[in-house]
Every structure is written in structure tokens, then in C-alpha cells.
Chain A
């Protein structure tokens, strides 16, 4: 069974750093792209970027380029999304998703990680 299991909810202060994770199982982790999607409270879905764990090829949405870093450790089938300096506006639910190729639908979703940034 394909699963994407994300790390737990986080509460952080503005200016702090954070790295959340997404562990894939039940499929060949290095053969699929992993992407990240943001959903701000009560709002819609925004694509942030994507990584191919096989060779770490990474692409970012222009809206998120420079704001976050996407990485992966294929030895433990885990992808990451990190911030160096959080802002209150980063408060949101973050989902990881699986894609077979870049131009493919998001066929599996993680359960989501809620990030709350508040002073």
C-alpha cells in the first residue's frame, strides 16, 4: 500500500527555522516525484515545488522560490520542506504529494502537517 506519512504539527515563533518531513512507503521512492502543496487557513491549494529523489532534481514555483528549500534523503525514503526564517504568513497546512512524472496528477497525498507561526 502506497503511503506518504508526514511529521507532526509544529508551533514556532517568527524568525525560527523549521524542517518538516514526508516519508514514502509501498513504492519505489526514487522513481516518483514528491511535491509540496500549501493550504492557508480556510483557503485553497497552492503548489510550492517538487523534487525527484532519484537525483535530487528540484523545481520551485516562482511564488515560493527563495522562500523554502525542498530536499530528499533517498536512503530513508524521506522528503523535506524547510524554512530558515519563518513568518506569521507561513501559518498553513502543508501536504506532500506523489507524481509519476512532472506532468502528472497528484495521485497520493500525505495527511498534512499543520505549521503555526505565532509570537
Chain B
């Protein structure tokens, strides 16, 4: 089983700032089968990024993903008020697994 570790656990930032979220895998994620999801309180998660760097349909270009192998990053270039949420990385190459989440909160 691939274990994903996200850091930091909580990120306190102001609107307009840049957010950088990290996801590290316990072994290489095949073919960059790495996704990022956003979850707001009381809502189901929403797919943001797949294939490590491809934006899902309708996702603003302030969201970007990068990385390969065992190290991946989600960047939000300029935080909007609606971006404050919990973000999960996921590997979907074999038995899918998720990271524990990073909460992006308003400073």
C-alpha cells in the first residue's frame, strides 16, 4: 500500500497570498497517477488536479500541480476567499489511497 504524507497539516494565509502544499509518497507513484481534491465544510470533495499536473474541467488556472515519483506539490497562486478549505492528495494507480489532508485557513 502506498502511504501519502501531506505537509503542512495547517496553512494559515491571507487572501491574495500564494499557497504551496506538499504530498510525499512512500514509494513511486506510477505514471503520475496523482490527484488533488478540495473539500469545503459540509460538501463532497471536488477533483482539482489529475495526472499530477492536469486541471480538471472548470478549475481556475490559479491552481497548479507539479511533481513526479514520490514528491508532488499543489500551488494556489493567489488565494481567493473560496479557496479556504481542506486539500487531499490521492494516488489512484493501484489500491487508491489519500493523504491525511492540509487545511488552508484564513490568517
In the complex, what residues of B have CB within 8 A of residue A44's CB? 88, 98-101
In the complex, how many residue pairs between chain A and chain B have their CB atoms under 8 Å apart? 52
Cα(A99)–Cα(B47), bound, Å: 12
Cα(A95)–Cα(B96), bound, Å: 15
Secondary structure dominating the interface of A: loop
Closest beta carbon of chain A to B100's beta carbon, Å = 5
Known: A44-B98, A44-B101, A46-B98. A103 touches B93 (CB 8 A): yes
In the complex, what residues of A have CB within 8 A of residue B98's CB? 44-47
In the complex, what residues of A have CB within 8 A of residue B90's CB? 45, 105-106
Q: CB distance A103 to B92 under 8 Å?
A: yes
Cβ contacts B47-80/A at 8 Å (1 or 0 each): 1001100001000000000000000000000000
Cβ contacts A52-76/B at 8 Å (1 or 0 each): 0000000001100000000000000
User: In the complex, which of the residues B44, B56, B95 contacts A95, with contact meaning CB atoms closer than 8 Å?
Assistant: B44
